[in-house]
């Protein structure tokens, strides 16, 4: 048996080696793909499972006193207009979290939102199929079939979801929101489908500290895939084995 295996291993190593060399060549001429490595899919084509959208957030770059991502998100999706709801009820797609290591006193700031799990617990528990994962890895709520039971809010280990408690008006055209439905970060899917990047990543690059890198984790030429392959990155609650799409550095 071991004799049979040897040639296969050698062949695999050879293939891996040549693939790596090819990738290296592609990068060598100094063509770096930054930011929206995303090429827009044709508008009448379905999202493809060959793509996996993700984010890499560098907590070392993220400043405690900056909330550019949160503001951009609220503006993009028209959040924060629930005047009958308390602060604990109001919708948050993304929020800033301060972490402090009690032993060392080291403190970090980072944005926390839906982590777009590969195996999302919210979708597992959803009784109607309203919580689902799109082919390209984006986890969404289909409000047309959400009955507002809030099982998904219980199931989410990241507290990423919010429930709308009151009737709303003047919603943003790409983010319809209404009373009785659960909602969460959509990774700005309406922008991604048109070749853009999420509002938080854009704002972090423009007025923040460039801590959020967005791209296709499945594309070996994308900046995010290369960063994830080369540097140590962390999943929050990696113990759950959810293989999240949003990864962190420096925590």
Partner 1 sequence: MKRLSDLLRSLPALLALAVFAAPAAAGDGDSGLRPDIPEPLRGDSCVEETEDMRRNHMDYLKGHRDQVMHQGIRTKKYSLKECLGCHVPTEDEARRAGRSEGEHFCQNCHEYAGVELDCFQCHNTRPQEPRLPHPLTPRNRQTMQDAGNPATAELLNKLADSDKNETGVAQ
State the residues that interact with partner 1 by CB under 8 A. 41-47, 132, 134-136, 140, 142-144, 167-173, 176-179, 181, 189-190, 193-194
Nearer to partner 1 among residue 155 and residue 168 (C-beta):
168
Nearer to partner 1, 132 or 250 (CB): 132
**Listed residue (193, 169, 186) closest to 93, CA to CA:** 186
DSSP state of 175: B
Distance, CA of 54 to CA of 244 (rounded, Å): 8
Q: How far is the CB of 180 from partner 1 (least distance, A)?
A: 8
Shortest distance in whole angstroms from residue 175 CB to partner 1: 9
CB of 247 to partner 1, least distance (A): 23
The least CB distance from residue 8 to partner 1, in Å, is: 39
Among residues 65 and 169, whose Cβ is nearest to partner 1? 169
With b meaning 16 or more CB within 10 Å and e meaning fewer, what string describes 88-101? eebbbbbebeeeee
Closer residue to partner 1 (CB): 48 or 89: 48
Q: E strands within the chain?
A: 53-58, 94-100, 107-113, 131-133, 139-141, 162-163, 182-183, 212-216, 246-249
Per-residue tokens: 14? 């050879």
- Nearest distance in Å: CB 42, partner 1: 8
CB atoms within 10 A of CB 244: 25
**In whole angstroms, how close is the CB of 211 to partner 1 at the nearest point?**
27
Query: How far is the CA of 42 from the CAs of 39, 91, 102, 137, 219, in angstroms?
Result: 9, 32, 50, 18, 18
What's the token pair of residue 18? 């040549």
Query: Which one, 108 or 190, has the nearer CB to partner 1?
Result: 190
d(CA 21, CA 251): 32
Residue nearer to partner 1 on the CB measure, 78 or 157: 78
């Amino acid at each position: 048996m071991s004799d049979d295996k040897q040639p296969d291993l050698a062949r695999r190593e050879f293939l891996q080696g040549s693939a790596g060399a090819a990738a290296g060549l592609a990068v060598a001429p100094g063509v770096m793909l930054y930011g929206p490595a995303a090429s827009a899919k044709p508008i009448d084509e379905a999202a493809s499972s060959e793509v996996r959208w993700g984010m890499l957030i560098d907590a070392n770059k993220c400043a405690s006193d900056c909330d550019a991502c949160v503001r951009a998100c609220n503006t993009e999706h028209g959040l924060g207009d629930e005047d009958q709801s308390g602060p604990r009820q109001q919708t948050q797609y993304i929020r800033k979290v301060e972490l402090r290591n009690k032993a060392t006193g080291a403190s970090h700031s980072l944005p926390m939102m839906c982590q777009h799990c590969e195996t999302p617990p919210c979708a597992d528990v959803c009784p109607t199929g309203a919580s689902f994962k799109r082919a390209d890895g984006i986890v969404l709520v289909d409000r047309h079939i959400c009955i507002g039971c809030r099982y998904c809010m219980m199931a989410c280990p990241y507290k990423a979801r919010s429930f709308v408690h009151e009737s709303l008006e003047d919603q943003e055209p790409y983010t319809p929101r209404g009373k009785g439905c659960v909602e969460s970060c959509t990774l700005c899917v309406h922008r991604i489908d048109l070749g853009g990047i999420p509002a938080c990543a854009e704002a972090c690059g423009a007025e923040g500290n460039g801590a959020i890198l967005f791209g296709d984790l499945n594309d070996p030429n994308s900046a995010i895939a290369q960063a994830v392959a080369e540097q140590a990155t962390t999943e929050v609650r990696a113990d759950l084995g959810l293989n999240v799409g949003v990864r962190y550095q420096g925590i």
